[in-house]
A and B are shown apart, each in its own frame.
Chain A
Amino acid sequence: METTNLSRRSAVAATMIGLTGMAGLVRAQSGPIRIGSTLALTGPLSATAQIHKLVGDIYVEQANQHGGWLGRKLEWVVKDDQSKPDLARTLYEQLVTADKVDLLLGPYATGAILSAMGVAQRYGKVLVHHTLGVPSLAKYELQFPAWSLGSDPATTVPNTLFDALAAGPKPPKTVAVVTSKFPSIQFMSAGAREVMKKRGLTEVLFLEWEFGNRDFGPIANRVKDAKPDFVWVGAIGLDGNLLLDAMKKIDYVPPQHFYLYPAPGPLVSLPEAKNALSVTIFEEQPPFTSNKGAAEFIKLYHERATKAGLADPSVETQAAASYTAWQILEAGVTATKGLDDKAIGAWLKANRVDTLQGKLRFNGTGNFGDDLMRIKQVQDGKWVVVWPKDVTSSGAKLLAP
């Protein structure tokens, strides 16, 4: 009897648990898909991270207007990592264990991405990230880059640049390399030096400065003294503006000049940046504007960025990489019709994804695909893509003074 009673109780309990579980399952499948990430909403990286916040908000809103993914609305759980990679690690841990998000998306920038990657690896989660600057550090098999700089950008990007210069009106013979020691910059500048050597160019000056350097006067003086045909500036953020300001103060105009990762808005608006070169994966001009989702996104981004008071409301590398990250994740989810990280990862490795940057692949070293970095130049106060020829518009060409 006791046994029977126990069995009855057990059966009732099991039924209750089962029903509760079913209800939970039904709720989980009909509730929103929760995507977790952190961003540097405060701290030294916040100026750029706010672009990613704006893009994420736009994307989620757009997706939800179209019914979300797999018929479920999206909910973006975004936390402020305060520009601290160690905090990003803790917050990603929270997102997985406490917030129990369904999917992860990368933070900004390289340091925080690497932190998030460690957590994603521990829990076997897919991590699509926007702007990892050092591909060789991406060791996790389920991480996917949205910034198409290829697996060896230290070689391919300088080669693209020097190809552009060689085809331009004044191919340089002597080069000054001045660079920040910021990790994702330094290795690119080192790569540029190697590429220069192989191409027979003469290095007349090489200088490095610590990230956060305030006084660019002596550096400008040394560039002027070296009299190079071309200046490679391993710039991040405002370095380029500060160096050009310092050059202006000593009446020096660099003949041809390149800035690696400048803050996009401030440099183009500087009169001294005339003919300055840089790299890009996306600009608001044909043929980029024909890529998937570009036209609508550009319009929305302009509106929101202007409303948010951003100095530059145009879509360029950061915003494009950010939007691409969402597109990649969406492609994985919709193609596999589920939220299983392993299935999403396997599909992404095996297929190309149509994005704002074009069709991307993830089957190269470290899941990186092609190097889609293009060369752009400040012409008439605007960035214009000038190389390679197949992505220029209206016959734009590299100019030299």
Chain B
Amino acid sequence: MSGFSLPSATLLAQSILSGLFVGALYGLMGLGLSLSWGLLRLINLAHFAFAFLAAYLCYQLAGQGMDPLLTLVVLVPAFFALGALLQALVARFAITPFNSLLLTFGLTGIVEAVIQTIWTADFRKLESTYAHLKFKVGVLFVPVPELITFVLAVALSFAVWAVLRYTDLGKALRAAAEDATIAAAFGVNQKRNALLLAGTCSALAAVAGVCLALSFTLAPSQIYAWVGVVFAAVMLGGLGRALGPLIAGSLIGVSEAVTMAVTAPSWAPIVSFTLLIVILVFRPGRVVP
């Protein structure tokens, strides 16, 4: 019973949809991480902690009657400031990329402890009207919270891509990542741009956090459950690429879901990480052109 079996078309299609939705969340969580790693050379492990902190704050605010999506109005600017502050510290103490990994790992532990102190280690589930909403397209059920995540992930990924590609700020950021000295010679204000970008990355973590709260049950220790798969999406998508994490995340999500539909669910991580290795071997560095 646990071996390979041919699924029905409905089962396969529903599973692909489910994989696409969870993949979009991988992409959304990976977007800020990828930008920070690729353009700022900051391997920000605290990105996951920030996402969970935002999720808990969303849970708290929603518990006091605020619409979960409206919490973004508060959370996005707050996390922008938090990210900019972290970047200011990193710049002030000239922390190297490797040391940034250690610094942000420590910060993750601190944020986890703060979450546990305030909300305890117990599980928390956001109860919202969105949780019960779904509609049917043909034979497929489309849950609204996951659809919101998907739409936000796609919209934000394309928005960031457009900014990086078409605006002076985006070009300056890419130039600074390519060659900081030459970019400075051309008058690029790297300090200001870095603060802006770091703030944006944390704001993106806040958006991902709200999406997490909409669909998942929260526990402080869950922070680490996302690290592996989101890192895989970031590496597959290419560092500093706006669309990369979304495409790679979706690829991983769908491959996991199809594996679960066709064979044993316990094979899902094996398939997705094998996919990562194969792609890195044959197309090192990135999957997205």
What chain B residues lie within 8 Å of A17 (beta carbons)?
A: none
Contact (Cβ within 8 A) B125 A221: no
List the one stretch of A86-94, A307-315, A352-360, A384-392 in contact with chain B: A307-315
Neighbouring A residues of B121 by C-beta, 8 Å: 42, 46-47, 49-50
Decide if B1 touches A206 in the complex (CB within 8 Å).
yes
A21 on the B face (CB < 8 A): no
* Interface pick from B91-99, B234-242, B254-262: B254-262
Q: Are B1 and A205 interface neighbours, CB within 8 A? A: yes
Contacts of B141 in A (CB 8 A): 249-251
Rounded to whole Å, the gap between the CB of B209 and the closest CB of chain A is 15
Q: Is A122 engaged at the interface, CB distance under 8 Å to the other chain?
A: no
- B261 A215 Cβ-Cβ under 8 A: no
- Of residues 136 through 187 on chain A, the ones whose CB sits less than 8 Å from some CB of chain B are 181
Task: Knowing A219-B260, A250-B14, say if A311 contacts B253 (CB, 8 Å).
Answer: no
**In-complex Cβ contact of B123 among A213, A221, A308, A311 (8 A):** A311
* Chain A residues whose C-beta falls within 8 Å of the C-beta of B64 in the assembled complex: none
- Contact status B143-A213, CB under 8 Å: no
Shortest CB-to-CB span from B264 to chain A, Å, is 6
CA distance A311 to B123 in the complex (A): 7
**Which residues of B in the span 4-34 have a Cβ within 8 Å of any Cβ on A?**
7-8, 10-11, 14-15, 17-19, 21-22
Taking the complex as formed, is B179 at the interface, i.e. its CB lies under 8 A from any CB of chain A?
A: no
Asked if B123 and A218 sit within 8 Å, CB to CB, the answer is no
A50 engages B120 (CB within 8 Å)? yes
Q: Which of A44, A203, A209 contacts B265 (CB 8 A)?
A: A209
Chain A minimum-CB-distance residue to B120: A309
CA distance A79 to B134 in the complex (A): 46
- Does B219 reach chain A (CB closer than 8 Å)? yes
Tell me which residues from 125 to 158 in chain B have a Cβ below 8 Å from any Cβ of chain A: 125, 134, 141, 143, 146
In the complex, how many angstroms separate the beta carbon of A93 from the nearest chain B beta carbon?
24
Residue contact A215 to B116, C-beta cutoff 8 Å: no
Task: Identify B18's interface contact among A203, A218, A225, CB under 8 A.
Answer: A218
Q: Is B225 an interface residue (CB 8 A)?
A: yes
Interface centre among A207, A218, A246 (most CB of B within 10 A): A218
Tell me if A210 and B266 are in contact (CB < 8 A).
yes
Interchain CB contact under 8 A, A221 and B122: no
By the criterion CB–CB under 8 Å, are B113 and A225 in contact? Answer: no
- A43-B221, A210-B269, A218-B18 in contact; A310/B264 too (CB < 8 A)? no
A395 to chain B, nearest CB (A): 33
- Chain B neighbourhood of A42, CB < 8 A: 112-113, 116, 121, 221
Main secondary structure, interface of B, reads: helix
A5 to B221: give the CA distance in the assembly, Å: 68
In whole Å, how far is B91's beta carbon from the nearest beta carbon of chain A?
Answer: 31
- Whether A217 contacts B113 by the Cβ 8 Å rule is no
> Contact check: which of B18, B119, B217, B266 meets A241 at CB < 8 Å?
B217
A300 at the interface (CB under 8 A from B): no
Chain A residues closer than 8 Å to B10, beta-carbon distance:
221, 225
Q: Kindly state the separation between the CA atoms of A311 and B2 in the bound complex, as whole angstroms.
A: 36
| B8 partner, pick from A43, A203, A204, A225, beta carbons under 8 A | A225
Q: How far is the CB of A50 from chain B (nearest CB, A)?
A: 5
Q: Which residues on B sit within 8 Å (CB–CB) of A70?
A: none
Q: In this complex, what residue of A is CB-closest to B269?
A: A210
B 223-260 binary contact with A (CB < 8 Å = 1; else 0): 01110010000000000000000000000010011101
Q: Which residues of B contact A224 (CB under 8 A)?
A: 11
CB-based nearest B residue for A45: B221
Shortest Cβ distance from residue B244 to the other chain A in the assembled complex, whole angstroms: 21
Q: CA separation between A210 and B221, bound complex, in Å?
A: 17
| Cβ-defined partner of B225 (8 Å) among A204, A214, A263 | A214
Q: Are A238 and B116 in contact (CB under 8 A)?
A: no
Across the interface, do A207 and B2 meet the contact criterion of CB distance under 8 Å? yes
A243 to chain B minimum Cβ distance, whole angstroms, is 11
Q: B58 on the interface (CB 8 Å rule)?
A: no
Asked whether, in the complex, the Cβ of B264 is within 8 Å of the Cβ of A217, the reply is no
Residue numbers in A under 8 Å from B11 (CB-CB): 218, 221-222, 224-225
Contacts of A205 in B (CB 8 A): 1
Q: Does B174 contact A (CB under 8 A)?
A: no
Nearest A residue to B139, CB-CB: A250
Residue picked from A213, A214, A222, A266, most chain B C-beta under 10 Å: A214
Query: How far does the Cβ of B224 sit from chain A's closest Cβ, in whole Å?
Result: 8
> Quick one: CB contact mask for B31-62 with A, threshold 8 Å, 1 for yes?
00000000000000000000000000000000
Q: Which residues of A contact B266 (CB under 8 A)?
A: 181, 208-210
Q: Which residues of B contact A (CB under 8 A)?
A: 1-2, 7-8, 10-11, 14-15, 17-19, 21-22, 112-113, 116, 119-125, 134, 141, 143, 146, 216-217, 219-221, 224-226, 229, 253, 256-258, 260-261, 264-266, 268-269
- The 21 sampled A-B contact pairs (Cβ below 8 Å) are A42-B116, A46-B116, A46-B221, A83-B221, A207-B2, A208-B264, A208-B266, A210-B269, A214-B225, A215-B260, A217-B22, A221-B10, A221-B14, A222-B7, A225-B11, A238-B123, A241-B217, A246-B18, A265-B122, A265-B123, A311-B124
